[in-house]
A = this chain, B = another copy of it.
Amino acid sequence: MTVQKPSIPKGTRDFPPGEMVRRNYIFDTVRSVFELYGYQPIETPAMENLSTLLGKYGEEGDRLLFKILNSGNYLKNTSHLSPVTIHDSQFTIHDLTQQIAEKGLRYDLTVPLARFVVQHQHELSFPFKRYQIQPVWRADRPQKGRYREFSQCDVDVIGSNSLLNEVELVQIIDDVFCRLKVPVVINLNHRKILSGIAESIGAADKLTDITMAIDKLEKVGLEKVNAELASRGLSKTAITKLQPVLELQGKIKEKKQFLEEFFSHSEVGKQGIEEICTVMKCLKELNIKNKFEFDARLARGLNYYTGTIIEIMALDTDIGSLCAGGRYDDLTGVFGLPGFSGVGISFGADRIYDVMMNLKLFPETLQSTTRVLFVNFGFEEERFCLKLISSIREAGIPAEIYPEAVKLKKQLDYANRKQIPFVVLAGKDEMAAGKVTLKNMETGEQETIPTINLTDQLR
């Protein structure tokens, strides 16, 4: 066989042990909080039918789906393909794609959830509180901090219109980031407030344009947003009317007062204000530890939220959004189950990882799994050690023996590289005395103790 230089597809990553342990720390924390709030796990296949995925993420999303070639030997089995397409000079690969690819890799966890809920509706109890932690794939241009395979941790409630769910989701966000010690600010808005704004400036038909433009406010500044609004066809009058909203600052009370006036002719705007204030009021009573704010300008790129919009920004770094979500009415309608509202949030594990690395927030104790390495001095010593190791493992202490009787230095190097805190040395003398020498790899200290005390010493 020819030798190949090993590599992986661009935008994907290997996770070596050190990273795995830290990533699992995030996943375990998130999972334990989800379960504390009564959410149950599900998983869905990596591959979905393209009919499930296409048209759900906009034109851009369709383009970014990874498509899977139908399996089987289509060389020998082309009868199901349209011969016109294949032999026609007007042949396009796009036509072919539609015929040879029926499956795609999941692009997020929300569309699979909607599909799952409809497909399993008779087995589920509603409101259905589920969480899902799985990778998703997007054929995005890879860049710093953006990958083609990355993990999402989603938590959603399906089939309940109560705002209590929004409150609970903010509690979950607060709890997760407190446990991870990541400082964040939780921003809240409501789609109906955005609708109210569009209505109140006389541009109800331009809601999408407005949200897409003001979503960039933080990034590009007021001037460029106004320029974009103009280029998207908003009248001068509308843009002028919008200015106080773009510059809206202050406490929730002041914002509320301003918007109630601003929405004097917008019922939908008033509804939005009322809902967001209900959520904020309940949160105030609940001892939320992170800062949470109502931000009337928060729009989010995705245009499918119909209720509350939630975004969590990392403080002290420029990494940005760590977690986002909101409410969408009629989540499952497209799959044949109308009238089911969904509200949920998605934690971006990779972004959270980057923030925690930047701010050095991972506990130092995460580093190694093995607690003790037994040095291998040869056949007889090996046999003596194997029995000791069994009893240590029975006590739940991770232990290993170096598999070969190589030079002591090499074995100790192995322990150091793997950050194993203790090493046991048991040569013929120790064996005869029923003892072992226990070496602390950090301090270098060592003492000879009876084998019977070893497990206790290692605890």
Interface residues of chain A, those whose CB is within 8 Å of chain B, are 1, 3-9, 12-17, 20-21, 24, 35-49, 51-52, 55, 63-64, 66-69, 71-75, 78, 81, 86-87, 89, 91-94, 96-97, 100-103, 105, 115-116, 118-120, 123-127, 129-130, 135, 137, 139, 148-149, 157, 160-162, 164-165, 167-168, 171, 175, 282, 285-287, 333-336, 369-370, 373, 376, 382-383, 386-387, 390, 393, 396-404, 413-414, 417-418
Contacts and interface: CB of A to CB of B under 8 A. Distances in A.
Nearest to A335: B6
A135 B134 CA distance: 11
Contact of A68 (B68, B87, B124): B68
A412 to B, nearest CB: 12
Which of A38, A105, A125, A335 has the most B CB atoms < 10 Å from its CB? A38
B36 A17 contact: no
A459 to B, nearest CB: 14
A36 B399 contact: yes
11 contacts: A7-B52, A8-B48, A8-B115, A14-B120, A16-B124, A36-B398, A46-B105, A46-B149, A68-B68, A160-B404, A285-B386
Contact of A14 (B38, B43, B333): B43
A8 B44 contact: yes
A160 B7 contact: no
A332 B374 CA distance: 28
A369 B93 contact: no
Nearest to A77: B93
B7 A119 contact: yes
Given A35-B369, A282-B383, A335 B418 contact: no
Contacts of A399: 36-38
A160 B164 CA distance: 57
Given A4-B52, A7-B119, A75-B92, A12 B282 contact: no
Closest 8 CB pairs of A and B: A71-B139, A38-B400, A12-B45, A17-B40, A125-B417, A162-B403, A38-B370, A20-B41
The oligomer's copy count stands at 2
Contacts of A165: 403
Given A20-B43, A52-B6, A369 B69 contact: no
Select the residue from A43, A124, A175 with max chain B CB neighbours within 10 A: A43
A135 B69 contact: no
A67 B69 contact: yes
Given A6-B52, A71-B64, A335-B6, A14 B116 contact: yes
Contact of A403 (B66, B160, B418): B160
B3 A334 contact: yes
A91 B38 CA distance: 56
A1 B42 contact: no
A113 to B, nearest CB: 10
Contact of A286 (B126, B167, B386): B386
Nearest to A138: B71
A442 to B, nearest CB: 17
Given A16-B120, A74-B93, 7 more contacts: A3-B335, A17-B40, A17-B41, A46-B135, A47-B149, A75-B93, A127-B414
A38 B162 contact: no
A100 to B, nearest CB: 7
A164 B382 contact: yes
Most chain-B CB neighbours within 10 Å: which of A48, A78, A403? A403
A125 B420 CA distance: 12
Given A17-B41, A370-B38, A69 B69 contact: yes
Contacts of A94: 74-75
Nearest to A95: B75
Contact of A285 (B67, B105, B383): B383
Nearest to A100: B93
A328 to B, nearest CB: 14
Given A286-B386, A386-B286, A69 B97 contact: yes
A164 B282 CA distance: 61
B398 A4 contact: no
A116 B129 CA distance: 38
A46 B175 CA distance: 31
Contacts of A135: 46
A51 to B, nearest CB: 6
